[in-house]
Structure formats: C-alpha cells, structure tokens
Amino acid sequence: AQTVTQSQPEMSVQEAETVTLSCTYDTSENNYYLFWYKQPPSRQMILVIRQEAYKQQNATENRFSVNFQKAAKSFSLKISDSQLGDTAMYFCAFMRNDMRFGAGTRLTVKP
C-alpha cells in the first residue's frame, strides 16, 4: 500500500523568506501523480502544484516549486517570498488509483 510521510508537523517562516516542506512516499508503482494541497484555517482545500512521475522536470507555479526525486521517493515543496496568506495546513498527496494524503504540515508565516 502506498504511504505518504510528512515529517514536519509544524513549521514557521518569516514573511518574504523561503521555506521547504518535506514529503516522502512509498510505492512500487512507476507511474503515479503527486500533489501539494493547502488548507487555510477554516477554508477549503486548494491545489498548489501537481507533478507527474514520468516527467523529470520539476513543476513550478509562481512562488511554488517542487523538488521531485523519483529514486529517493521524495517530493518537497519550496515556497519562495512567503506571504501571510500562505499560512495554512499543507498536504502532500500521492495518486495512483486513489488519493493518499500525508498527515500535513502546519505552516505559519510570521510578519
């Protein structure tokens, strides 16, 4: 069974700085998809970024980028120029047939 591990339950970063959230996963599959979702306090889950396992190039979306290491089964999220609105719970997710989520990392951006 696929498992997703986020080893950092909580993190904080100063506004305008860069932070990296870690995620590892376990699978024997070769083709799959990885996602980062964010869930702001009392608000709904929003897609941050998506990565297809067959693509070697790391996905980027504006200030958000990933470091995808397929052999190491690692999928970290880098947030550059952190903003107060980035404060949220961040979930790493693995999809093959269904979506499996990590436990989440609570990120606080401090002014």
Partner 1 sequence: KAGVTQTPRYLIKTRGQQVTLSCSPISGHRSVSWYQQTPGQGLQFLFEYFSETQRNKGNFPGRFSGRQFSNSRSEMNVSTLELGDSALYLCASSLEQGSDTQYFGPGTRLTVL
Provide the binding-site residues for partner 1, judged by CB under 8 A: 33, 35, 37, 43-47, 50, 91, 95-104
Strands 105-110 and 10-14: parallel
Which residue number, 62 or 97, has a Cβ lying nearer to partner 1? 97
- b (16+ CB within 10 A) / e for 24-33: bbebeeeebe
**CB of residue 69 vs partner 1: minimum separation in angstroms?**
21
**CB of residue 90 vs partner 1: minimum separation in angstroms?**
12
Q: Judge contact between 73 and 27, C-beta under 8 A.
A: yes
Which residue number, 57 or 97, has a Cβ lying nearer to partner 1? 97
